[in-house]
Each structure stands twice: as structure tokens, then as C-alpha cells.
Structure 1
Amino acid sequence: MALRVWITGASSGIGAALARRYAARGASLGLVARRGDVLRELAASLPGRVFTYPLDVTDTAAQAAAAQDFMQRVGVPDIVIANAGVSAGTLTGADEDLEVFARIMAVNVQGMVNTFHPFVGSMRNGGRGRLVGIASVAGVRGLPGAGAYAASKAAAIAYLESLRIELHGSGVKVITVLPGYVETPMTAVNQYPMPFMLPVDEAARRIIRIIRRGDSYAVLPWQMAILARLLPLVPNALYDRILAHSIGRKPRGLPV
């Protein structure tokens, strides 16, 4: 039987690349994104059964209704990928950034919860399936000028671990993926060096391999996996001194 795959943030970047690869493998897809026109254009280019749901992942009711529609059409998904995410530079002392903080946290954390919530019961009852959260290496330690994004990804990592333990023994796997830099619209605005950058299609290929293996936690590429292991070991005084002066800052403004 063909895979049934649900992907949020599917209109561009990692989400669109995942959709293309799964469609090429004959999967039935449920694709979620805010930009309905771009989403429909992507769907029209894909083979097989593709259902599009233009909505904001922070809209709990809309996500639940879309999930029910998808399950009625094709059944309970085998894979649910919470990929939707936004980013922007933020400063706690800036009044105009308070709304940006709230939006980033809402999309990157509550949006992930909203994505999984409609499917957990059915997947648990069936004793199978994979819930995949796309977090980030940025969630391993705080980054100057990116407090909202780093905090949201740290929260996502902790949430996914909590969910994994809750579902232990149920047959439902929870998979946490931490990409480093990937060539997407989110990173295109960055005006600083981004080491070990992955092309988006290569990132999607590696993520699908991680999902197929059922890894509970994975960082990509391998260079970033080493960095993610080492960063927590760096003393605060040294970490603060290095990061305060040697890293570029994400542009501030509306989340992308």
C-alpha cells in the first residue's frame, strides 16, 4: 500500500522538497501551507493523490478539520511531518519585536502541537505511524539576536522528547530532526557565513532516510551533529565571549 504522508509548511523549502520526493515514491499526500496559490501550483506538478489545505498551523480548528478530511479520504497517515516554521531576528528590548516573538513561538511550537494533535489518537489506536518534528540546531543553545527562534526550537525539541516518552510502547514513533543550514527562503536572507550548508533536496533525501530508519533524534549534516554534541560542553563564559562578537545576526522584521 502507498504511504500516506501529511506535511505542513509544504509550499516551499524543506516541506516542498519532501513533498516532491514522497510523491515520486507514489505516496498520497496531505499538504498544508498558508500560501494557497503556491501550494496548489506545487500540487499540480506532483503525481498521484495530493490534497491541499491552505491554512495557518496556529489555527487549531482549521488543522483539525483538515486532518479529518484527509483521514476520511485516504485513511490515517503513516507519516506526519510538522515542518512549518518561521524565523526573524529579535531583540527583547525592542517594542516592535514583541509581536514577532509571539508569532515565532506560536508557529514553531503551538503549530507543531496542532499538527500532531488530530492524528495521535488514531495512530495510537492503530499501533503504528511516525510523528516527525523538524526542529533545528539553533535549539541546542541560545543565539544572540535570535532569541525567539532559538527558544522556539529548544521548546520543540523538549516537546518532541516528552511526546516520544508518552507514546513509548504504543507503536507510534516520534522522530526529532535538527537540520543545520539548508538552502531555503528562510536562510536566503542571512548575510553571514552559514557553514555546512545543504541543498534543500539533499536535506529532504536525508530526512526521509532518517524517517525510514525511525531514528528518535538526528542532526544533519554530520558536521552539525558533532557541533550539537560539543556546544553544551562549552562553558558559559567562553560561549558568551565567542558568540557575542563572531556571529552574524538574523535580519529583524516580519517572520519568514
Structure 2
Amino acid sequence: MKDTPGNGRGAEPARLRVFITGASSGIGLALAEEYLRRGAVLGLVARRGDALAAFAARLPSHSISIYPADVRDAAALSHAAAQFCAQHGGADVVIANAGVSRGALTGHGDLDTFRDVMDINYFGMIATFEPFVARMVEERRGTLVGIASVAGIRGLPGSGAYSASKSAALKYLEALRVEMRPKGVSVVTIAPGYIRTAMTEHNPYPMPFLMDADVFALKSADAIAGKKRFATFPWQMRVAGAMLHVVPRWLYDRLLEKAPRKPRAGD
């Protein structure tokens, strides 16, 4: 762990304490930058510790704690959460953002890809929340945020691993929201459409309503502050998602069977 100079929670009780996974690039990095603009104290987790260190080094006037860890390692996440809470007295917002998108097909030897995507996108989300929930429930405060996806609404051909993991995340977050509601803890689901990041830049198909990551982060932080139960950005994808949800299966099959696919790893 590395901390840039800054005061702890006791010295600045009004500063929001935000813990983010997958914070070294893309949506996670954009969220970290947005919360820094809002004066938050940050705990940032990512596998790429060098990228986290470079980000923290650019902002020496802010309080940033970095934790190089893989969200598939529940013990490492628990240790990072314990360190962050010990230093700052807890967390106000925990954002489970770490995620991967990989093309995978059944019958092509992609079982490891299916497992990795589910482990990171779904089980990694649960492992991120796990160390914080007991304290939040005890204090009857705090917000758990899951970054899901519009891709979890229907199964996208060629992206069965990703769609399945995000569908699982959507259902998990909904169940968690209802569980936490009487305990004073908020759960916010953010379902992005296409966001301009390294994850999407090589997609070989049109990406309607593509949104810049910094714009997405600003809108998401506002939704989180308002404790909105479910938010989709850009808004046009909320409409598209609603339409996808009700399209009959026979029509969905015809429309999607020849759609461009995300390349498999190694293709």
C-alpha cells in the first residue's frame, strides 16, 4: 500500500471515503478522477500496481491509498478493505467496478475464459462488498455500487461469458438492494452502455451512443450521491435495453444471429 500525503478521516470528517476496484484504467480510473474532483479520500484496487502508483504520484495533494490486488483473491481484497477502514474509519461508498470482456464460444476450448470472466465480473463483485457490509450494517449507513452492463439484459452471441456474468451481477445487485434496504445500506446498480475505454476501442462492430468515460463517471457519481437504485448511461441505452427486454425470442434470434461478434482471445 502507498499513501500520498493527506489527512485522515478524523481531521476532515466531511470528506467522502470511496473504495474502487478496477481503478487503474477505463471506467474505474475515470471514477477515481471524478471523486478526486469532489474532494474524496480514495482506496484504489487493481491488478496493475504500477498504474495505480503512477496515478497516485500525479496527485500528491490528495489522500489516495493504493492496493495492488486481483479481485479473484478474496483474502487480498479483505486485507485492502481492512487497511483502508483502519486508516480512514470506514468507507462511505464501495464501487465494485473491476471487469473484463472477452469473446468466448462453447465447443472451442474456451472454458477457462468463461470461468475467468465470471470470477472477475461476478464473484469479484461479491468479494469486494463482503469486507464492508458488516460495518455498514452496524452503522446503518453507506452505499454499495455495482458496475453491471446493458449487455446483461439479453445474451449476446459471441459474448456469452460477458453477458452471463453481467446478468448474474444485475440479479445479485437487485437481491442485495432488497436485503440491505431495511438495514440502512443503499445499493446502486450502474448499467453502462458503450463507454469509450481500452475495453471497447477494438470492438469490430458499431457502438451506438458511445459515451466518453469522464462523462459517464460524472453522471454515475451523481446517481450514486442520489442513491439511485438503477441507472443506465448513456440514457439512450436505457431505452434500447428496455426494448431488448421485451423483444420476442423468435425476433431476437433473427436479429442477432448474424451480428458481429467480439473476437475470441487469440483470434
**Which bin holds the TM-score, normalised by the shorter protein?**
over 0.9
Instruction: Figure out how many residues of one structure are paired with residues of the other and give that number.
Output: 252
1:171 shift after superposition: 1.4
1:104 shift after superposition: 0.2
- 5+ residue gaps in structure 1? none
Is 1:123 matched with 2:120?
no
1: distance between equivalents of 2:250 and 2:151? 19
**1:125-164 CA distance string (max 9 Å, x none):** 1111110000000000000000000000000000001111
1:45 shift after superposition: 1.8
**1:25-68 CA distance string (max 9 Å, x none):** 21110000000001111111234110000000010100001100
Alignment of 1:48-197 (within 5 A): 48-95=62-109, 97-197=110-210
Which residue matches 1:235? 248
SS of residue in 2 equivalent to 1:186: coil
Which residue matches 1:200? 213
2: distance between equivalents of 1:43 and 1:12? 13
2: distance between equivalents of 1:77 and 1:54? 18
2: distance between equivalents of 1:112 and 1:102? 15
1: distance between equivalents of 2:260 and 2:66? 37
Which residue matches 1:224? 237
SS of residue in 2 equivalent to 1:176: strand
2: distance between equivalents of 1:228 and 1:76? 35
1:167 shift after superposition: 0.7
Using the aligned pairs only, state the percent identity: 54
2: distance between equivalents of 1:145 and 1:238? 18
Which residue matches 2:53? 40
SS of residue in 2 equivalent to 1:241: helix
Report which of the two has the higher share of helix.
1
Q: With the length of structure 1 as denominator, give the TM-score of the two structures.
A: 0.97
1:10 shift after superposition: 0.1
Q: Give yes or no for contact 1:15–1:83 (8 Å, CA) kept in 2.
A: yes
Runs of 4+ in 1 over 2 A off after TM superposition: none
2: distance between equivalents of 1:70 and 1:225? 35
Q: With the length of structure 2 as denominator, give the TM-score of the two structures.
A: 0.93
